Amino acid sequence: MLAILLFLALHVNSGRLQQTLEQLSQYGRNPEGGVTRPGFSPADKAARDYVMRLMREAGLVVRVDPAGNIYGRREGLVGMVGREKLPVLLFGSHIDSVAKGGNFDGHVGSMGAIEVARALNENKIQTRHPLEVVIWVAEESHPFGGLFGSSAAAGLHPPGILDHKDAAGRTVAQALRDYGLDPARFGEARRNKGEIAAYLELHIEQGGILDQKQIQIGIVEGIVGIRDWTCTAEGFANHAGTTPMDQRRDALAAASRALLLVRQEVRRNPGRQVGTVGMLRVEPGAPNVIPGRVEFSLELRDLSAEVTQRIGERIFAGFREIEREENVEIACTPRVYHAPALTDMRIREAIAAAAADAGFTTLTLPSGAGHDAQSMAHLAPIGMIFVPSVAGISHSPKELSRWEDIARGAEVLYRTILRLDERF
Amino acid sequence: MLAILLFLALHVNSGRLQQTLEQLSQYGRNPEGGVTRPGFSPADKAARDYVMRLMREAGLVVRVDPAGNIYGRREGLVGMVGREKLPVLLFGSHIDSVAKGGNFDGHVGSMGAIEVARALNENKIQTRHPLEVVIWVAEESHPFGGLFGSSAAAGLHPPGILDHKDAAGRTVAQALRDYGLDPARFGEARRNKGEIAAYLELHIEQGGILDQKQIQIGIVEGIVGIRDWTCTAEGFANHAGTTPMDQRRDALAAASRALLLVRQEVRRNPGRQVGTVGMLRVEPGAPNVIPGRVEFSLELRDLSAEVTQRIGERIFAGFREIEREENVEIACTPRVYHAPALTDMRIREAIAAAAADAGFTTLTLPSGAGHDAQSMAHLAPIGMIFVPSVAGISHSPKELSRWEDIARGAEVLYRTILRLDERF
């Protein structure tokens, strides 16, 4: 009975939000559930068309920037006596996914933001600030570095970004052209400091803390920084039958030692830091040939940049030892570095007040996952609202957030925007 | 000067043999040298057409059995008073390769056998036994198990072999049809005991013993047995940022421990046994996702079947421990088992005498690599002649045997066949 009363009090429409999320889940659907929808793929393109249609139906003025980010604008009060046009309140998320990803990561914040725009219309609310709903392009897409679109908006990409290639050999420039965008205008995706009053993102937690503690809303205190590298181990491919054990230069044995060392160094000291080797490829990869070359990823995350730097240094020192003992060369190339990003105290307070008004329980917690909000932290104060992930499962078809939790998150987003509109 | 005198005394034609090997190296050539010519591939088919043409030019009567093995027959003396038709002296090798393989593994014995047929013609030699040059199909091809063609001739395949699939999902039956063969007649590839008087194979050593010791001809004492498995490690794919280190079920970490354990157990006791994990695939394989599933190969080789069995048992006991500690399930499925095969004393003597007659240095040694000869050991006495591999490199584009060593090997093959023709 309490639940029904609570839901009657929502400004957002839970059923409508669920329906748009279910429709979105059709694009790039896996046979076993969830989606495979990498940025700049046909499945992503189809999902973007759907999302732009929803934005227009919600009365938003849609534009796509030269990096591929989708903005849907709702004007604020302008021309009032004695007032300059105010900067934008920006909120949204992403709709691309990892390979064999779920239906909630990014999708909840994207569809939740559009639902907020619809609810504002229904409640005939005119904000002081202009509002922009944003769908960041290729948040997950690792060939181009994660947070691709929001990094473009924050001007964080290295100079040669347009020539970067994905695993299939496609350059960023070509990927942009495949979306009808002009790579020559890529720099115009950058937004200026001062244009944005604040950035807000609703997202699933992706960890299991809220679910374990039965808390409805997470208030994010900060987003961990990410350092990642692509490493290669170069040994010598040779016949598995005729090469004695003591004469081998086995790149896979060396890489195995390397990745176990990563885990050992990450675990060495207490703390919430994590380290992962998620990708590993073997050449030539035949059962009867000693591996000659292995490529693998290495990723470290923590709220403290010093912690990941120190762990990284220890890991690379350990790699030198493995190189000597295995007679295999290990080389690592840094990829995109994302600094840790703390959220804005005033926005955290606004989220807490909005949740309290609606009668939802809250917990302040860090985000172990990277988010576009950390790109935005370079331009504006940021805040993030988390909803629970059942069993903390994410980046998997088994990823699940309950519809009522998603509706609560969207309601808090709605109420927080109105609070920020008054305060900022 | 000595070298020239020796070469003047050869029955085989070194230059002609080199020319056919160079021509063969064009089929499936890698940009960096060597060939990629898997069995039942277009490159293999083209090479087979070339080889059959060479056989016909050498006066051999060519037939392809229902498994795809190519035989070129040269009749022996028949109809002599008081004599039955004699069984066949069989000799040859294979022309398929591993991915990014070299130009000598199998090729030397195949082209060497055809050169012997040409040299017998030029020397107008009529043998008592019929001779058959054989090109075994898909010796390397692991999707269908190694030694595919010779195993068919020896009747060693399991009942469901026609339904086995390669990595691309093609069944053995389809591969046979792609070569114009009738899978329904596959069983007819089997040869009977008594049909074959002896089997001889010329091959490169693929190890570095002859090259290190500067010996010209290797006399093989036996071929190591091979046990191999395909293993899977099943953990749980999850987000690399939000899943604490102590809550992970990382399939790649477990597989890394497993393959380092393989090496440790193989090295535990002295001996020439080897163990290799040459293939390993990670799912989903993204840098920001904890690996949920890993597939890897496991292969053990030794002249003693007991040694590989004992090591295998220790490895699997160790896997149980890794499973418990990593909360990951490891399961291994055996693939084709090749028993060790000892060569025939009389054939070893004939090779030694043939080499001595020609003035070549010899060494008796085991074969660490598997060969079609071990299939033939189920039907007939076998022997193998090795020529040196420079630096012991094989299954690599860097694989190299010198032309003069190859010619010596072919000469010893020629002389050994004539000795066996008298003795058997």
CA A221 to chain centre: 16
Residue A175 is predicted with a pLDDT of: 95
Same domain assignment for residues A307 and A400:
no
- CATH number of the domain to which A102 belongs: 3.40.630.10
Residue B249 is predicted with a pLDDT of: 97
B395 with A238: Cβ contact below 8 A: yes
Cis peptide before A334 (omega within 30 of 0): no
Give kind and range of the element (H or E) at residue B134: strand B131-136
CA A76 to chain centre: 28
Same domain assignment for residues A169 and A101:
yes
- CATH number of the domain to which A301 belongs: 3.30.70.360
Strand partners, A234: A293, A329
Residues of chain A with pLDDT under 70: 1-8, 78-84, 142-145
Looking at B334, B352, B373, the residue that finishes a domain is: B334
The answer to whether A283 and A237 are in contact (CB under 8 A) is yes
Question: Over 50: is that where the pLDDT of B79 sits?
Answer: no
The answer to whether B60 and B133 are in contact (CB under 8 A) is yes
Residues across chain A: 424
Average pLDDT over all residues of chain B: 94
- Residue B16: CA atoms inside 13 Å, Cβ hemisphere, count? 15
Residue A212 buriedness (CB in 10 A; 0-12 / 13-18 / 19+): exposed
| B contacts of A299 (beta carbons < 8 Å) | 240, 287-288
Segments forming the whole domain that contains residue B389: 2-223+341-423
pLDDT band of B223, cuts 50, 70, 90: very high
**Nearest residue, CB atoms, A245 vs list B245, B247, B266:** B266
Q: Who contacts A36 (Cβ-Cβ below 8 Å, separation ≥6)?
A: A28, A30, A43, A97, A98, A99, A100, A101
The answer to whether B385 and B240 are in contact (CB under 8 A) is no
ipTM of the complex: 0.76
- Of residues B398, B378, B381, B366, the one with CA closest to residue B337: B378
- Of residues A348, A347, A287, A294, the one with CA closest to residue A322: A294
User: SS3 of B392, please?
Assistant: helix
Strand partners, A293: A234, A283
Q: Who contacts A136 (Cβ-Cβ below 8 Å, separation ≥6)?
A: A69, A92, A93, A94, A147, A148, A149, A150, A153, A372
Three-class SS of chain A? CHHHHHHHCCCCCHHHHHHHHHHHCCCCECCCCCECCCCCCHHHHHHHHHHHHHHHHCCCEEEECCCCCEEEEECCCCCCCCCCCCCEEEEEEECCCCCCECCCCCHHHHHHHHHHHHHHHHCCCCCCCCEEEEEECCCCCCCCCCCHHHHHHCCCCCHHHHHCECCCCCEHHHHHHHCCCCHHHHHHHCCCCCCEEEEEEEEECCCCHHHHHCCCEEEEEEECEEEEEEEEEECECEECCCCCHHHCECHHHHHHHHHHHHHHHHHCCCCCCEEECCCEEEECCCCCEECCEEEEEEEEEECCHHHHHHHHHHHHHHHHHHHHHHCCEEEEEEEEEECCEECCHHHHHHHHHHHHHHCCCEEEEEECCCCHHHHHCCCCCEEEEEECCHHHCCCCCCCCCCHHHHHHHHHHHHHHHHHHHHHC
Q: A325: which 2 tokens?
A: 């003992």
CB proximity under 8 Å: A 9-68 to B = none
Same domain assignment for residues B98 and B246:
no
pLDDT tens-place string over residues B379-419:
999 999 999 999 999 888 999 999 999 999 999 999 999 99
Same domain assignment for residues B231 and B218:
no
B240 with A292: Cβ contact below 8 A: no
- Residue A92: CA atoms inside 13 Å, Cβ hemisphere, count? 26
Residue A80 is predicted with a pLDDT of: 53
Residue A141 is predicted with a pLDDT of: 73
| A contacts of B100 (beta carbons < 8 Å) | 237, 284
| A contacts of B237 (beta carbons < 8 Å) | 100, 395-396
The answer to whether B306 and B242 are in contact (CB under 8 A) is no
Interface-testing mutation among B37, B261, B395, with chain A (most A C-beta atoms within 10 A): B395
Same domain assignment for residues B194 and B276:
no
pLDDT tens-place string over residues B305-336:
999 999 999 999 999 999 999 999 999 999 87
Residues across chain B: 424
Distance in angstroms (rounded) separating the CA atoms of residues A260 and A332: 16
Question: Over 80: is that where the pLDDT of B116 sits?
Answer: yes
Check if B302 contacts A (Cβ < 8 Å): no
User: SS3 of B20, please?
Assistant: helix
Residues B251-276, mean pLDDT to the nearest whole number:
97
Same domain assignment for residues A218 and A234:
no
Total domains present in chain A: 2
pLDDT band of B158, cuts 50, 70, 90: confident
Residue A146 is predicted with a pLDDT of: 83
A279 with B282: Cβ contact below 8 A: yes
Query: β-strand B131-136 against B88-94: which pairing, if any?
Result: parallel
pLDDT band of B1, cuts 50, 70, 90: very low
**Nearest residue, CB atoms, A276 vs list B260, B281, B290:** B290
pLDDT band of B44, cuts 50, 70, 90: very high
Residue B4 is predicted with a pLDDT of: 52
Same domain assignment for residues B317 and B329:
yes
Distance in angstroms (rounded) separating the CA atoms of residues A306 and A314: 12
Same domain assignment for residues A185 and A234:
no
Q: What single-letter amino acid sits at B65?
A: D
pLDDT tens-place string over residues B231-250:
999 999 988 998 989 989 99
Strand partners, B200: B91, B383
Q: How far is CA A127 from CA A86, B390, B421, in A?
A: 10, 79, 101
Q: What single-letter amino acid sits at B322?
A: I
Same domain assignment for residues B48 and B139:
yes
What are φ and ψ of residue B369, in 5° steps? Answer: -90, 150
Same domain assignment for residues A211 and A256:
no
Residue A107 is predicted with a pLDDT of: 98
CA distance A141 to chain B (A): 10
Interface-testing mutation among B276, B301, B332, with chain A (most A C-beta atoms within 10 A): B276
Q: Who contacts A135 (Cβ-Cβ below 8 Å, separation ≥6)?
A: A48, A51, A69, A70, A92, A93, A94, A95, A110
Check if A275 contacts B (Cβ < 8 Å): yes
Threshold 0.90, pTM exceeds? no
High-pLDDT (> 90) share of chain B, %: 86
Residue written as token pair 């490690």: B233
- For residue B321, give the DSSP letter: H
Residue written as token pair 């490891």: B330
Check if A280 contacts B (Cβ < 8 Å): yes
Residue A133 is predicted with a pLDDT of: 98
What is the interface size between A and B, counted as CB pairs within 8 Å?
Answer: 237
**Nearest residue, CB atoms, A280 vs list B206, B252, B370:** B252
B286 with A98: Cβ contact below 8 A: yes
Looking at B282, B301, B334, the residue that finishes a domain is: B334
Query: β-strand A293-302 against A274-276: which pairing, if any?
Result: antiparallel
Distance in angstroms (rounded) separating the CA atoms of residues A382 and B156: 68
The answer to whether B134 and B226 are in contact (CB under 8 A) is no
Looking at A338, A362, A387, the residue that finishes a domain is: A338
User: SS3 of B47, please?
Assistant: helix
Q: A96: which 2 tokens?
A: 């691309």
Cis peptide before B183 (omega within 30 of 0): no
Three-class SS of B184-246? HHHHHHCCCCCCEEEEEEEEECCCCHHHHHCCCEEEEEEECEEEEEEEEEECECEECCCCCHH
Check if A300 contacts B (Cβ < 8 Å): no
Same domain assignment for residues B208 and B292:
no
Q: How far is CA A260 from CA A109, A237, B388, in A?
A: 36, 22, 39
Same domain assignment for residues B346 and B285:
no
Residue A1 is predicted with a pLDDT of: 47
